Amino acid sequence: MKIGVLALQGAVREHIHHIKLAGHTGIPVKRVEQLADIDGLVLPGGESTTMRRLMDLYGFTEALRQSELPMYGTCAGLILLANDVVGYEQGHLRKIDITVERNSFGRQVDSFEANIDVKGIEDQVDAVFIRAPHIVSVGPGVEVLSSVEDKMVAVKQGKYLGISFHPELTEDYKIMKYFIEEMVTK
């Protein structure tokens, strides 16, 4: 499979590495035309407000709203996929029927690492949280895959997967494999 990683800002290389570990081809996506050549798209972590500005500038916001590609967002990427973001008038791509709140593990240390259970994945996942958002509420079509400290941190709706942490900063590529096998090739 050819899996694109939106390469406007954020942790692009790390996701490309995970796609390779999962046995597939990772492609940095910088132009809208490249969307026609891929089977799925990863929206990386970074800064969602910056990414949104660049997505508007390069025509991705509209193209991705209309796109039927399976998508997997981590951290800022989860924020981009959410229907609603606390404190904002409207969500960005509005692919998953959830409301997210940004920087919501902030009262702890700014970032932390934990081994967590994720539904559908056999072993625990090595998860790094960096100024992570959490999912405040989910609509009826959304399946919650993981929670940490009573906060929802991973969800799936149809061919869209959103998680609030960064597995790509570790060597643990189980979630990438899950995305490709469950949402791209199925």
Q: Which residues are catalytic?
A: 75, 166, 168
- Residue type at 29? V
Find the part of the chain contacting ligand GLN (CB under 6 A) among 22-30, 39-47, 140-148, 168-176.
39-47
Check if the beta carbon of residue 127 is closer than 8 Å to that of residue 165: yes
Check if the beta carbon of residue 98 is closer than 8 Å to that of residue 143: no
Should residue 85 be labelled a site residue for ligand GLN when binding is judged by CB under 6 A? no
Sign of CA dihedral 117, 120, 123, 129: negative
Instruction: Return the number of the residue (130 or 175) whose C-beta is nearest ligand GLN.
Output: 130
Rounded Cα–Cα distance for residues 129 and 69 (Å): 26
Instruction: Return the number of the residue (2 or 13) whose C-beta is nearest ligand GLN.
Output: 13
Burial class (CB within 10 angstroms; exposed 0-12, middle 13-18, buried 19+) of 66: exposed
Should residue 182 be labelled a site residue for ligand GLN when binding is judged by CB under 6 A? no
Residue burial 3-28, b: 16+ Cβ < 10 Å; e: rest: bbbbbbbbbbebbbbbbeebebebbe
Instruction: Return the number of the residue (110 or 143) whose C-beta is nearest ligand GLN.
Output: 110
Find the part of the chain contacting ligand GLN (CB under 6 A) among 20-28, 75-83, 145-153, 155-163.
75-83
Should residue 48 be labelled a site residue for ligand GLN when binding is judged by CB under 6 A? yes
Least CB distance to ligand GLN at residue 128 (A)? 9
Of residues 113-132, which lie at the interface with ligand GLN (CB under 6 A)?
A: 130-131
State the residues that interact with ligand GLN by CB under 6 A.
45-48, 75-76, 79, 102-103, 130-131
